[in-house]
Every structure is written in structure tokens, then in C-alpha cells.
Structure 1
Amino acid sequence: MTPITPTPTASTKPSPGRVLRDNFSETIVSSLRTFGRAVDVAIETVTGTVTDVARGKFQWKETLHQSWYLLTVTAIPAILMAVPFGVIVSIQVGNLIHTLGADSLLGATGGLGVIKQGAPMATGFLLGGAGAAAIAADLGARTIREEIDALKTMGISPISRLVIPRAVAMLIVAPLLNVLIIFVGVLAGYAIAIGGQGVTPGSYWATFGSFTTVIDVWISIVKAMIFGFLVVVIACQRGLEAKGGPRGVADGVNAAVVLSVVSIVVVNLLITQVTTMFVPTRLA
């Protein structure tokens, strides 16, 4: 005889609040595990890079290839993003400064806005969009074709073979894009200030040179490199964990882009707070 299963009653059914708590707990635990795996990828990438360079096994050719590819997909968008950044900062800040009667300070405020915030953020968003999508798609496709499993079977580390060249390439490209955006953004702001707001070229460059220091440029470059490293770690981690066929690759690419942008915004806030406390703006 087949056993008779009791029908669930109201007392045995889980309550909506309990279901919500369980789902929330599972989401938190899953997020922490994903973060831990990303940290493991970052640590293994750093240690593996040092080890490969020390042993003379670093893949310079692959790194240069990846660097050139990242430049080709981000250089023109970087210029197109730098112009609006410089123009927006010049117009918005220029209107406020004109109201206060300090038109000569437009060069300082516009330059600092582009260097400290506009350039590294634009660099991070470009790398998080085009760069993260390309890396996650490439590694995700390799994962679902079982190429990653084949590398592990042959005793080849996927981190050393695939992740490290892309990470170093990202660290090479990030400061280059950052400097390009600074150059184009400052020139765009200068053109708007001179042509549309009546600022003299001498006063613009004088205040720009008085308030902008080399430390500000270095902080901007370091921020861009940190953003690039975050992007490549997230993209590689999502690509290496892709599963479920082409749909899984697409989900990994979307997750890589979204997580990269969110991480850049959060880390930029933290870095800005720290640099404001310990490296305040001062005269050059």
C-alpha cells in the first residue's frame, strides 16, 4: 500500500516573511562567496604575475596583443567622452564662478574637475564597458567550449595563461586612456571658456597651473589603474564561471559590465574621501 502523504495545512506552509528572509540570506551568502572568489582571482593574478616575471615565463607577446586590442576599442570612445566632460564642467562651473565674479578661476576649477574626477571615471567606465564585455565574452566562450577544463587537465593554469596577460594589458592601457582624456577634456574646457565665456587665455592657464599639481595627475592615474584592475578581475571571474551555453556567456557579460560600473563608483567615492583628507587641494 502506498503511504498517504498529509496535505499541507496553514501551520506547515512557510510564511511569506520566512520565505523572504531565506531568499535574502541565500542572496547575501551567494554574494559573499562570489566576492571571495573574485578576491582569490585577484590574489592569484598578482602573485602569478610576479612569479612569471621572475621566472622569465611572462607572456609579453600576448600582453601586447591584448593591450593593442583594448586601445583600438577604447581610444576613439575616450576622445568622444572627454569632450563632453570638459565642456560640461566648464559650462556648469563657469556659470557659478561668473555669478561670484571670479572668472579668472575657471581654469583651476575646470582643470581640477577633469583631472580628479572626470578622467579616471571616464576611463573606468570605458574599460568597464568595452573592456569588461570583451574579456568576459572571450573567457566565457572558452569556458562553455571546455577549453578551460582542457587547460586544467594539461596542468596549465588558466590564470597564468589567460588572466594575467589581460590584467597587465589593462594596467598598461588605463593610464594611457586617462592621460588622453585629461588632455582632450582640458582642451575642450579651454575652448569653451575662451570662446563662450570671455575668459582670457592667460588667466585660464595661470590659474590652471597655480591650483593643479603633479600629485593631482598622479592620483588620477593611480585611480584609473585601480579601476582597470577591478574591471579585469570582475570580467575574468565572470567569464571563467560562465555556464549554461550561450545564454550563460551573455549573462556573464552583463554581470561583468554592471558589477564593474558599480565597483568603480563605490571605490571612487572611497578614494575621493581619503585623498581629500590627506591630500587637500593647494596652490602649486
Structure 2
Amino acid sequence: MRPESTAPARGEPTTALQIVRRNFTDVAVASVRTFGRTVELAVEALRGGFGDIVARRFPWREMLHQAWYLITVTALPAILMAVPFGVVVSVQVGNLIHQLGADSLIGAAGGLGVIQQGAPIATGLLLGGAGASAIASDLGARTVREEIDALRVMGINPVQRLVIPRVAAMVLVAPLLNVLIIFVGIVAGYFVAIGAQNVTPGSYWATFGAFTVLTDVWISLAKAVLFGFLVVIVACQRGLEARGGPRGVADGVNAAVVLSVASIIVVNLLITQVVTMFFPMRVA
């Protein structure tokens, strides 16, 4: 009786290095393909949204319903996050400035920290945590229940019916949430400065107005809108591609939150570098 051959089949890796290389290549290729599908979904959503507005068939009711839901799940956490953030910025920066003998600059440092970095990042993280998980779980559940396939069978585009209203709602809610965080964070920092750091109200608001210009606010709002768009596109893409029942939905939600947060951090770094180059800090 001929003994069975133990040699590896043709095309299979024979060493640990080849196995690692194949797995790394598969992950890299899959990541590039996923990124391509995400970009394609974003382009389709933008094109379809503008087309629906021009054709006067945009689903305003669904958009407002989704926007209200996002507000209900993010407004209170935004306030709870903005208060300690404004306090931490005021305390940390205030201690450093106090050692330099420039206590009057606490208002400028706290205001710039909240407006330029704190508010848009907090907005993105809140939308990425609460908003992305809700959208990904909703679309993922519809996908595993084959509702998305049923829409396609009936000739209804899932992107036009489900994705576009959620994109519009997220883009609408993001700047509103950003303004709320700016207001609460600055007010919290103000009370800490005048109550615990012996800064006069006049000097606080004078330096705040001298160093914070309207351009900073517009950049903060633009960053919030961009972060919201990234979050909703990633969440929709992961939800529409959920597979494998409830486990697949859970994996899609987890991936949506992680990818949203990671993309926000990376994009914020790039935007900060570009803004610093073209809009350096200046006194109003």
C-alpha cells in the first residue's frame, strides 16, 4: 500500500514567512478594496443627494427623523463631554501660563483649544460612537434580514432610500453639535478661570476676543461637517456589507466605530497641518 504524501499542495505556503506574507497581502488587498467601495458609496450618496434636491424628490421627512434621533442620542453626552473638556483645558493651560506670569491669556488659550481642536474632535467621537453604532446596527439588521436585497428586487436603490437621508441628517447635526460643545466648553473654562485661577472676567474675554477670530469658528464647523460625513459613510458601508446574522451585525458595528474614530484622528491631523500653514495664529 502506497504511503500518503505529506508534501504541501501546489500553491500553499510552506514556511511561516510565506504564511505571514500571504495573510498580510490578503489583508492589504481587502483593505484597499474596502476603501474603494467606501469612496464609491460616498460619491454615489453625494451625487444622488444633489440629484434628489434638484429633482425635488429628496426625502426630507426621513432626513429630519434621522436628525432628531441623532440629536437625542448625542446632545446630553455632548454637554457632559464639553464641561470636563473645557475645565481640563483651562486648568492645564492656566497652570502653565500662571508660571509664565501671563494669567490674562487663559481666555485666549482656552478658547482656541476648545474651538480649534476640542469641539470638532468631540463632535466626531460622539457621532462615531453613538451615531455610527446606531446607523451600522440598523442597516446591518436590515441587510441580514434581506430587506436590502428585497429593495433591490423591487427596483429601489438602497443608497437613495436609506443612505442619503442618513448622510444629510449627520451633516446637519454635526455643526449644531459642534456649536453646542464650543459654547458649553468655553463657559465651563470661563467659570474655572475666574473662580479657581483668579482671572478677571474682563481680561478673560478681552484675550479671548483678541486671539480667536471668525476663521477659527468656520474651520471648526467645516471640520465637524467633514467628520460627520466620514462617520456616516463608514457606518453605512459597514452596515450594508454585514454578513452572518447577529454576529455579523455586531462585527459591523464594532468596525464602524473603530474605523470612524481612526479616520477622524488621522484627518484631523492632516487638516491641522494644512490650517497651520495657510491660517497661522494671529491677533484680531
| TM-score w.r.t. length of structure 2 | 0.97
The AA in structure 2 aligned to 1:280 is P
**How far has the Cα of 1:13 moved from its partner?**
6.4
Q: Which residue of 1 aligns with 2:36?
A: 36
**How far has the Cα of 1:247 moved from its partner?**
0.4
| In the alignment, structure 1 residue 203 sits paired with structure 2 residue 191 | no
**How far has the Cα of 1:61 moved from its partner?**
0.3
Other structure's SS at 2:164 match: helix
Other structure's SS at 1:14 match: coil
Q: Which runs of 4+ in 1 moved over 2 A?
A: 2-5
Partners of 2:157 and 2:13 lie apart in 1 by: 48
Partners of 1:26 and 1:252 lie apart in 2 by: 19
Partners of 1:45 and 1:180 lie apart in 2 by: 27
Q: Which residue of 1 aligns with 2:7?
A: 8
Q: Which residue of 1 aligns with 2:114?
A: 114
Q: Which residue of 2 aligns with 1:259?
A: 259
The AA in structure 1 aligned to 2:263 is S
Partners of 2:171 and 2:104 lie apart in 1 by: 37
Other structure's SS at 1:57 match: coil
Other structure's SS at 2:106 match: helix
| In the alignment, structure 1 residue 242 sits paired with structure 2 residue 249 | no
Partners of 1:79 and 1:193 lie apart in 2 by: 19
The AA in structure 2 aligned to 1:187 is V
Q: Which residue of 2 aligns with 1:123?
A: 123
Q: Which residue of 1 aligns with 2:90?
A: 90
**How far has the Cα of 1:283 moved from its partner?**
1.1
- The one-character-per-residue Cα deviations of 1:11-37 (angstroms, maximum 9, x if unpaired) are x96100011101000010000000000
Other structure's SS at 2:263 match: helix
The AA in structure 2 aligned to 1:223 is K
Q: Which residue of 2 aligns with 1:76?
A: 76
Partners of 1:84 and 1:226 lie apart in 2 by: 24
| In the alignment, structure 1 residue 278 sits paired with structure 2 residue 274 | no
Partners of 1:120 and 1:189 lie apart in 2 by: 17
Partners of 2:214 and 2:173 lie apart in 1 by: 20
The AA in structure 2 aligned to 1:18 is Q
**How far has the Cα of 1:8 moved from its partner?**
2.1
Q: Which residue of 2 aligns with 1:232?
A: 232
Q: Which residue of 2 aligns with 1:164?
A: 164
- The one-character-per-residue Cα deviations of 1:40-71 (angstroms, maximum 9, x if unpaired) are 10000000001111111100000000000000
Partners of 2:276 and 2:114 lie apart in 1 by: 16
- The one-character-per-residue Cα deviations of 1:205-236 (angstroms, maximum 9, x if unpaired) are 00000000110000000000000000000000
The AA in structure 2 aligned to 1:199 is V
Q: Give aligned pairs, total.
A: 282
- The one-character-per-residue Cα deviations of 1:231-277 (angstroms, maximum 9, x if unpaired) are 00000000000010000000000000000000000000000000000
The AA in structure 2 aligned to 1:25 is T
Q: Which residue of 2 aligns with 1:19?
A: 19
Partners of 1:156 and 1:145 lie apart in 2 by: 17
Q: Which residue of 1 aligns with 2:152?
A: 152
The unaligned stretches of length 5 or more in structure 1 are none
Alignment of 1:60-75 (within 5 A): 60-75=60-75
Partners of 1:133 and 1:3 lie apart in 2 by: 57
The AA in structure 1 aligned to 2:5 is P
Partners of 1:3 and 1:163 lie apart in 2 by: 61
Partners of 1:113 and 1:80 lie apart in 2 by: 17
**How far has the Cα of 1:4 moved from its partner?**
6.1
The AA in structure 1 aligned to 2:37 is R
2:13–2:19 Cα contact (<8 Å) kept: no
Other structure's SS at 1:83 match: helix
2:78–2:123 Cα contact (<8 Å) kept: yes
Alignment of 1:211-222 (within 5 A): 211-222=211-222
- Using the aligned pairs only, state the percent identity: 69
